[in-house]
């Protein structure tokens, strides 16, 4: 994905993404197989990050319609 395709995030959206990334890091640290391929599933957190980004993209599209 190109950086020009990514929406600008609000402060609240940035905070949500930051919390989710920190939770991913915490799970990664807790992974007993850190040195291998990893055994901890992070798909739920990754999906939530994508939801925040998709919401920001939709917000920008709605804002563009009114300009």
| 21: nearest Cα among 44, 46, 53 | 46
pLDDT for 42 equals 92
pLDDT band at 1 (very low <50, low <70, confident <90, very high): very low
pLDDT at 2 over 60: no
Single pTM value for the model: 0.81
Give the tens place of pLDDT for each residue, 9-28.
999 999 999 999 999 999 88
pLDDT for 12 equals 98
Structure tokens at 41: 């599933």
């Amino acid at each position: 994905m190109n950086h020009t395709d990514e929406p600008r995030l609000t402060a609240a959206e940035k905070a949500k993404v930051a919390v989710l990334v920190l939770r991913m890091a915490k799970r990664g640290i807790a992974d007993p197989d850190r040195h291998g391929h990893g055994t901890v599933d992070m798909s739920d957190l990754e999906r939530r990050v994508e939801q925040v980004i998709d919401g920001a993209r939709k917000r920008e599209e709605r804002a563009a319609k009114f300009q």
